Amino acid sequence: MEYLLQYVLNVQVLVFVLVVVLLKNSIKFVPQNQAYVIERFGKYQSTKEAGLNFILPFIDRISADRSLKEQAVDVPEQSAITKDNISLHVDGVLYFRVLDPYKATYGVDDYVFAVTQLAQTTMRSELGKMELDKTFEERDLLNTNIVSSINDAAGPWGIQVLRYEIKDIVPPQSVMEAMEAQMKAERVKRAQILESEGDRQAAINRAEGEKASVVLAAQADKEEQVLRAEGEAKAIVAVASAQAEALRQVGEAAATEEGQKAIQLDLATKAIEAKRAIAKESSVVLLPDGGTEASAVVAQAMTIIQSMSKGS
């Protein structure tokens, strides 16, 4: 009886262990961004994606573990010949990811090696379509063409090339020296052009400054002449106004008795002064008829003034 109980206990333990082993082998936890390719009896059965998955233990097996993350692969340096027959050494970096784990497993033996070799051959082909100067100027276009060509060829492998970046393009030493000499000559040319342009602009500025100076000087002279003429005109008008006012005041004064006496006295004084001046200049003295005294002269002048007053 004890032997039978022991046997049953051993069988239970064995069954429990077998169940644990079966569960362990049948439950598979697939990490994020990974995929398991499952084979059953050596033939493709399914692709298990991230999460909890079940397989048949001892019948199904994981044939491949494929990462779905973006991968970067260094493309080794290689030589290529451009359209103008210049030999270059080029290297780069290829970025790709697995889109179809089934194709990446059964479509090619080693998809990383295959896509790297494809990138090298495609890069040589694309460089052969371009001249040396274009390889430096249009590097983005070259990268785009390489990615497009690789994707066309890598479609059956379940691989998608995201981008290709050329790290370095190294021409021969002789070409580098020629390029350096060309760049130096170009820099000298640009410097001379900028210097001549500066001299031309400076000459234009000086000419414009001199022109502006002449114009301003002429304008200032014109304004000065206008102001002088206006000042002279105003002075003439002022003198004329003063003379007219003086004549008006003299006329008003002459209309009075005192004014007549003053005019008589002034005329007599001027007559005497005139005869005195004539006597100094000549030895002959002219006297009016009818008298030789100054009083006669004054009387004669008064007679003339009175006659003029009556005639007015």
Q: Given this model, what pLDDT does residue 310 score?
A: 54
Q: Please tell me the distance from the alpha carbon of residue 53 to that of residue 29, in angstroms, as a whole number.
A: 6
The string of pLDDT tens digits covering residues 160-181 is 999 998 888 888 777 667 767 7
- Where is pLDDT greater, at 286 or 113? 113
For residue 291, name the pLDDT band (cuts at 50, 70, 90).
very low
**Whether residue 36 has pLDDT greater than 50:** yes
Assigned token pair, 178: 């020629």
Is the pLDDT at 292 greater than 50? The verdict is: no
- Residue 31's nearest CA partner among 62, 72, 60 is 62
Percent of the chain residues past pLDDT 90, beyond the cut:
9
- Pairing type for strands 51-54 and 71-81 reads unpaired
pLDDT at position 113, please? 92
Q: What is the pLDDT of residue 17?
A: 79
Q: Check: CB of residue 136 under 8 Å from CB of residue 169.
A: yes
> Within 13 Å and on the Cβ side, how many CA atoms surround 77?
8
Burial of 112 (0-12, 13-18, 19+ CB in 10 A): middle
CB atoms within 10 A of CB 106: 15
Residue 71's pLDDT band (boundaries 50, 70, 90)?
A: very high
CB 73 within 8 A of CB 93: yes
Contact 30, 53 (CB under 8 A): yes
At 154, the pLDDT band (50, 70, 90 cuts) reads confident
Q: Count the Cβ atoms, other than its own, within 10 Å of residue 33.
A: 14
pLDDT at 305: 54
* pLDDT for the residue 254: 65
- The per-residue pLDDT for range 208-247, each reduced to its tens digit, is 888 888 888 888 888 888 888 888 888 888 888 887 777 7
What is the secondary structure of 75-144 as a DSSP string?
EEEEEEE-TTS-EEEEEEEEEEEES-HHHHHHS-S-HHHHHHHHHHHHHHHHHTTS-HHHHHHTHHHHHH
Query: Greater confidence, 35 or 301?
Result: 35
State the average pLDDT over residues 242-271.
71
Distances (CA, A) of 310 to 70, 78, 143: 134, 136, 125
Tell me how far apart the alpha carbons of residues 84 and 178 are, in angstroms, rounded to a whole number. Answer: 15
Residue 298 pLDDT level (bands cut at 50, 70, 90) = low
pLDDT of 285 over the 80 cut? no
If one counts every other C-beta atom within 10 angstroms of the C-beta of residue 140, the result is 10
| 3 state SS of 66 | strand
Average pLDDT of the chain to the nearest whole number: 80
Q: Are 63 and 28 in contact (CB under 8 A)?
A: no
pLDDT score recorded for residue 216: 87
Q: Are 54 and 24 in contact (CB under 8 A)?
A: no
Of 27 and 289, which is predicted with more confidence? 27
| pLDDT value for 275 | 67
- Pinpoint the alpha helices (H) of the chain: 2-26, 101-106, 111-127, 132-137, 139-154, 173-254, 257-281, 294-311
* Selection from 7-11, 114-118, 233-237, 289-293 with the highest mean pLDDT: 114-118
Please count the CA atoms within 13 angstroms of the CA of 260 that sit on its side-chain side. 12
Cα→Cα distances 136→88, 171, 182, 203, 303, Å: 12, 11, 15, 40, 122
Pick the CATH number of 71-171 from 3.90.79.10, 3.30.479.30, 3.40.50.720, 3.40.30.10: 3.30.479.30
> Which carries the bigger pLDDT value, residue 96 or residue 188?
96
pLDDT tens sequence across 72-114: 999 888 888 888 888 888 888 999 999 999 999 998 888 899 9
| pLDDT score, position 93 | 92
Per-residue confidence (pLDDT) for residue 238, from 0 to 100: 84
Least confident of 17-31, 185-199, 215-229, 294-308: 294-308
